[in-house]
Amino acid sequence: MTVQPLANGFCFGEGVRWFEGLVWFSDMLGEAVHTVTLQGEMSTLPLPGHAPSGLGFRPDGTLLIVSTERRQILAYDGESVSLVADLGDLVPAGLGDMVVDGDGRAYVGAQAREGGVIVRLDRNNQATVVAEDLSFPNGMVITPDGTFVVAESTGRRLSAYSVDDAGALHHRRVFAAGLDGPPDGLAVDADGGVWTAMTLSHRFDRITAEGVTDRIEMGDRTAIACALGGPEDRALFLLSATDAYPDRLVGTTLSTLDVIGVDIPAP
């Protein structure tokens, strides 16, 4: 299959997720969260004053939203947006991507180029630093066997952790190193393969412990984020932009959401 366009006309897409028959993603510079149907119909949740990035759904359907520069976590219950946590005192830099586990615990990266951290937000909204000394932590996934994988963009690697029953991260190790460019957003499939947005290499790679198994070329477009979903969980949704640096895209509407079919479904 080939890459098919699904939606466009937004500034800088991040944090793409599939939930309840819709594609959800942040427009960081457009200060909004969008939803898109499989027919390409878009709806918008405005978030003035915020630069949303990572998204994640708790088991009760609450959408958690990362507010990057305010270093906050917001919640959207389908009607209103509220503040659930201010992480400003815990983190050394603005926030980025997020993953939510099956128990509703959210993991959020603080994107320092050196000395980045990951914060865990528990169901009671208590926040704890669970990983340190990361090189710009970006996309994060939890594989079917419970391995936590994070993209370290400036380190050009994927790092892995074991997760204990309390949600703590242990035994840091390399999942993939020496990547061709800075990795950004991640998605995981049922076999534990990690689809990785290879920003400056203009492609999405499926990476396993053995190396790259699949590749989707994006021409001259910058790969930003991806998610698996769709009716049979075999649709890979792809966010791309015309530049890897958001500051250069302020005021533009050149980002796109595309979709392609893949063989291995979401977990």
20 known member of a binding site: no
Q: Answer yes or no: 103 catalytic.
A: no
| Residues whose CB is less than 8 angstroms from the CB of residue 104 and which lie 6 or more positions away in sequence, other chains included | 58, 59, 60, 123
pLDDT at 246: 83
Q: Under DSSP, is residue 248 helix (H, G, I), strand (E, B) or coil?
A: helix
pLDDT at 244: 83
pLDDT at 24: 98
pLDDT at 202: 97
Low-confidence ranges of the chain (pLDDT < 70): 1
Domain residues for the domain of 42 are: 4-261
pLDDT at 245: 83
Assign residue 125 the CATH number of its domain: 2.120.10.30
Query: Looking at this protein, which amino acid is placed at residue 190?
Result: A
Neighbours of 194 (CB within 10 A): 25
Residue 124 included in any domain: yes
The pair of structure tokens assigned to 148 is: 């936590």
Note the pLDDT tens digit of each residue in 196-236: 999 999 999 999 999 999 999 999 999 999 999 998 999 99
Contact yes or no for 207/213 (Cβ under 8 A)? yes
Residue 267 included in any domain: no
- Give the number of domains in the chain: 1
The pair of structure tokens assigned to 63 is: 């959408």
Residue 19 included in any domain: yes
Active-site residue identified among 184, 189, 205, 258? 184
Neighbours of 88 (CB within 10 A): 10
114 known member of a binding site: yes
Q: How many helices (H) and strands (E) does the chain have?
A: 0, 24
- The pTM for the full model equals 0.97
8 known member of a binding site: no
152 known member of a binding site: no
